[in-house]
Chain A
Amino acid sequence: MEPTETDGGIMEQPKNLEGYVGFANLPNQIYRKSVKRGFEFTLMVVGESGLGKSTLINSLFLTDLYSPEYPGPSHRVEKTVTVEQSKVLVKEGGVQLLLTIVDTPGFGDTIDNSNCWQPIIDYIDNKFEGYLNAESRVNRRLMPDSRVQCCLYFITPSGHGLKPLDVEFMKRLHEKVNIIPLIAKADTMTPEECQLFKKQIMRGIQEHKIRIYQFPETDDEEEMKMVKRIKDRLPLAVIGSNTIIEVNGKRVRGRQYPWGVADVENGEHCDFTILRNMLIRTHMQDLKDVTNNVHYENYRSRKLAAVTYNGVDNNKSKGQLTKSPLAQMEEERRDHVSKMKKMEQEMEQVFEMKVKEKLQKLRDSEAELQRRQEQMKKNLEAQHRELEDRRRQHEEEKERWEAQQRILDQQKLDNSRTLEKNKKKKIF
């Protein structure tokens, strides 16, 4: 056991407890509760009519699921492919199982079989969608699980490998459901023919990269051995029968031929027992788990991504699928808010700038007008001063002249007085 790191930051070896604690009883608690709850399983059967599908189901579950009152798909002739389900309750060893068999009458029976898989795909997706909606409700109740958990695909024992229809169908459905391909009516081939046919089919499956149901990895040696045995015999060649025949004092389910009895449960006659053990006794739970954890989750994430990224560039959404749609919306909201903030800031900036410009212009024009005003004032003042100067000058000049005139006048007066004097002198 490797040491394991824990939340408390303490590296701990898984402690093997001395003394009794009691949680070793947990498996029993789970056992008890699961029996009380009951089990359910949905099995889909697909194949052309007449391949013995109903007989096989009856043989698998040892019951007349299909009977004259409830005829199997091959007896219900349909023009187009329909998908129908039958539900039965079976009980065994205290364990209750709600078994839903989904069959597809009309599949591969027309001349033009293109898109005959579409109703099947739609059915499977529809069940996924129903589960998704139920899971996403606000008020969730106990959710019945009607998702298809296994698809038995019947291959016609032609001896010539996979038909184009087989390939098309499996390629389109291998990502939606666990496909278990079966060779129907195996009693029409010899063991050698069967071996060859199986090889052809497996080769075809690999070539077309079809992913049929894979058995889970396991550490258990016994289990590994069993799984290997199954894998070696894929695809399983089966026969079914509704009749019990006596062979050497034993009552067996089989098909009576003039040359002998093909015993359904004889491992050398066909792989029926392997199929039954695998499908019902050992891997039923795993088929359900793979459906739930892989196929359903694929559907769900694709569906939610479409809902979330509606209108958003797909390249952006790659690698971001860890978010829930709500988280995505929250992020979009935050983005938008920050975008708005930025826009607001920009608008604010532009606004401020424009206002500044305008104010500046206003101030400039005010300054200009002011300047001109000053200029004109100075001008006027200069004129004023000039006028004052001139006036002063004039006043001075006037005074001087008047002074001069006064002197001249005085002179004149003196002169005329002198002249008068002289004149008077002369006379005398």
Chain B
Amino acid sequence: STLWFVAGEGARAVPLAGHVGFDSMPDQLVNKSVNHGFCFNILCVGETGLGKSTLMDTLFNTKFEGEPTQHNQPGVTLKSNTYELQESNVRLKLTVVNTVGFGDQINKEDSYKSIVEFIDAQFEAYLQEELKIKRTLHSYHDTRIHACLYFIAPTGHSLKSLDLVTMKKLDSKVNIIPIVAKSDAISKSELAKFKIKITSELVSNGVQIYQFPTDDESVAEINSTMNSHLPFAVVGSTEEVKIGNKMVKARQYPWGTVQVENENHCDFVKLREMLIRVNMEDLREQTHTRHYELYRRCKLEEMGFKDTDPDSKPFSLQETYEAKRNEFMGELQKKEEEMRQMFVQRVKEKEAELKEAEKELHEKFDRLKKLHQDEKKKVEDKRKSLDDELNMFKQKKTAAELLQNQAQQAGGSTTLKRDKERKK
């Protein structure tokens, strides 16, 4: 077994002298699993009208959805419903995810983008839970898609380019099981040719579909045979028709009745066998150990995690986280420093600006002051000249008055004399 290959170095095989009882281990494990319950998530991808919902109903023998889904959204919406089923003592939490509006878009990228995002989102949710410090993986409701049923339209010719493109985008993220839908629309000979065409197109385009595992001898043969019947041509129906004395699931046509569970009529039984009865557990295992691990690896590498340091020595978890934290602390500090520097720079520049403005202001006023001084001087000069004039005038006046007074006195005495004489 693989485990021994890995862990069994240095171990020696010893014979047992009697029945010890650890051969009950598989039963112990199984009992625990049954008590815990199982969970399985199927994604149905296909254009509108290919009978996805009907096939799910037929596969799980139950009517799942009440109303038919509305097709009035522009992009592809993924509708997910979870059901609790029980068969004998086994409880199964089944989630069926349907793509509504797939293939209705003009741009193919818009068709598959939301599917890829949905699948990644489930991986991401699991990864987040797995990375939590206090986590509850044991009771976590796993929403990762375990199987993707890809519905191919029964044209009878070849795969549409939308099909190829979509499957190519999905094959590294999910187990793809391609099926020919509504295969009662194709005749047997056309169907054989159709299957061959599809298979060769898938191969030539490098699309990795899910292979039923052949490593376990107990199921290797049946799985290998079934691999050669892919893609399964299915017919779904929840209507029952009486054939002989039994009621069987069938579709009734005027020219005959297509019996869903008749292996001559379609591959429905094969699909059910492979998907549910034989390989359900393997589908879950592959999802976890291959697709999820790939997603996780890419995500962690994106975030800069490595398993070895530059000298190719392996990192311990502690070292890895510390290294990461130091790295990003360093970045933050650098940013902080840069911001500070920028501010210092701005302050310096602004100060210089303001100083410059202040200088200009002072210069301006110095100039004005100077002008004012000049004006003042002019006024002073004017004043001085006026004062000089006034002084001169005063002098003149004084001199004139003096003369007048003298004259008056003289004239006055003459007048006085005259008056005196007159009086005589």
A residues with a Cβ closer than 8 A to B are: 1, 4, 6-8, 10, 12-27, 29-41, 60-65, 87-98, 129, 132-133, 136-142, 144-146, 276-277, 280-286, 289, 293, 297, 300-301, 303-305, 307-308, 310, 321-329, 333, 336-337, 340, 343-344, 347, 351, 355, 358-359, 362, 365-366, 369, 373, 376-377, 380, 383-384, 387, 390-391, 394, 397-398, 401, 405, 408, 412, 415, 419
Which single member of B13, B219, B303 contacts A32 (CB below 8 Å)?
B219
Say yes or no: A15 contacts B21, CB within 8 Å: no
Say yes or no: A14 contacts B25, CB within 8 Å: no
Please list 5 pairs of residues, one from A and one from B, whose beta carbons are closer than 8 Å in the complex, sorted by A's number.
A23-B280, A61-B16, A98-B3, A285-B25, A373-B369
Which single member of A144, A358, A366 contacts B6 (CB below 8 Å)?
A144
Task: Tell me, in angstroms, the Cα distance from A49 to B4 when the chains sit together.
Answer: 32
Q: A32-B219, A285-B25 in contact; A139/B87 too (CB < 8 A)?
A: no
Residue from B32, B81, B132, B358 whose CB has the most chain A CB atoms within 10 Å: B132
B residues with a Cβ closer than 8 A to A are: 1-4, 6-8, 10-30, 32-34, 38, 40, 59-62, 66, 79-92, 95, 128, 130-135, 138, 215-216, 218-219, 272-273, 276-282, 285, 293, 296-297, 300-301, 303, 305-307, 316-318, 320-322, 324-325, 328, 332, 335-336, 339, 343, 346-347, 350, 354, 357-358, 361, 365, 368-369, 372, 375-376, 379, 382-383, 386, 389-390, 393, 397, 400, 404, 407, 411, 414
Inside 8 A of B372's CB, which chain A residues have their CB? Answer: 373, 376-377, 380
Say yes or no: A22 contacts B273, CB within 8 Å: yes
Say yes or no: A394 contacts B389, CB within 8 Å: yes
Residue from B26, B87, B305 whose CB has the most chain A CB atoms within 10 Å: B26
Q: A146-B7, A308-B321 in contact; A394/B21 too (CB < 8 A)?
A: no
Q: A321-B133, A373-B365 in contact; A23/B25 too (CB < 8 A)?
A: no
Say yes or no: B317 contacts A132, CB within 8 Å: yes
Closest to A370 in B: B365
Say yes or no: B3 contacts A95, CB within 8 Å: no
Task: Tell me, in angstroms, the Cα distance from A415 to B33 when the chains sit together.
Answer: 158
Task: Tell me, in angstroms, the Cα distance from A286 to B368 when the chains sit together.
Answer: 100
Q: A33-B285, A362-B358 in contact; A62/B16 too (CB < 8 A)?
A: yes
Say yes or no: A329 contacts B324, CB within 8 Å: yes
Task: Tell me, in angstroms, the Cα distance from A415 to B410 when the chains sit together.
Answer: 13
B287 to chain A, nearest CB (A): 14
Inside 8 A of B300's CB, which chain A residues have their CB? Answer: 138
Extra contacts besides A65-B14, A138-B296, A333-B332 (18): CB < 8 Å:
A14-B85, A17-B87, A19-B61, A26-B33, A29-B278, A32-B216, A36-B216, A62-B19, A63-B15, A87-B12, A88-B14, A91-B16, A284-B22, A297-B135, A303-B318, A304-B317, A340-B336, A394-B386
A415 to chain B, nearest CB (A): 7
Task: Tell me, in angstroms, the Cα distance from A93 to B20 when the chains sit together.
Answer: 10
Task: Tell me, in angstroms, the Cα distance from A325 to B131 when the chains sit together.
Answer: 7
A6 to chain B, nearest CB (A): 4
Task: Tell me, in angstroms, the Cα distance from A278 to B397 when the chains sit together.
Answer: 149
Task: Tell me, in angstroms, the Cα distance from A140 to B292 when the chains sit together.
Answer: 11
Closest to A223 in B: B31
Q: A23-B92, A329-B324 in contact; A93/B13 too (CB < 8 A)?
A: no
Say yes or no: B272 contacts A21, CB within 8 Å: yes
Say yes or no: A301 contacts B16, CB within 8 Å: no
Inside 8 A of A327's CB, which chain B residues have their CB? Answer: 128, 131-132
Say yes or no: B379 contacts A387, CB within 8 Å: yes
Say yes or no: A90 contacts B16, CB within 8 Å: yes
Q: A6-B84, A284-B22, A304-B133 in contact; A90/B13 too (CB < 8 A)?
A: yes
B384 to chain A, nearest CB (A): 10
Inside 8 A of B282's CB, which chain A residues have their CB? Answer: 29, 33
Q: A307-B322, A322-B133, A324-B132 in contact; A14/B84 too (CB < 8 A)?
A: yes
Nearest 5 A-B pairs (CB), nearest first? A324-B131, A8-B81, A93-B23, A22-B277, A144-B7
Which single member of A34, A280, A380 contacts B26 (CB below 8 Å)?
A34
Task: Tell me, in angstroms, the Cα distance from A329 to B23 when the chains sit together.
Answer: 47
Inside 8 A of A138's CB, which chain B residues have their CB? Answer: 296-297, 300-301, 305-307
Q: A29-B280, A325-B321 in contact; A95/B25 too (CB < 8 A)?
A: yes
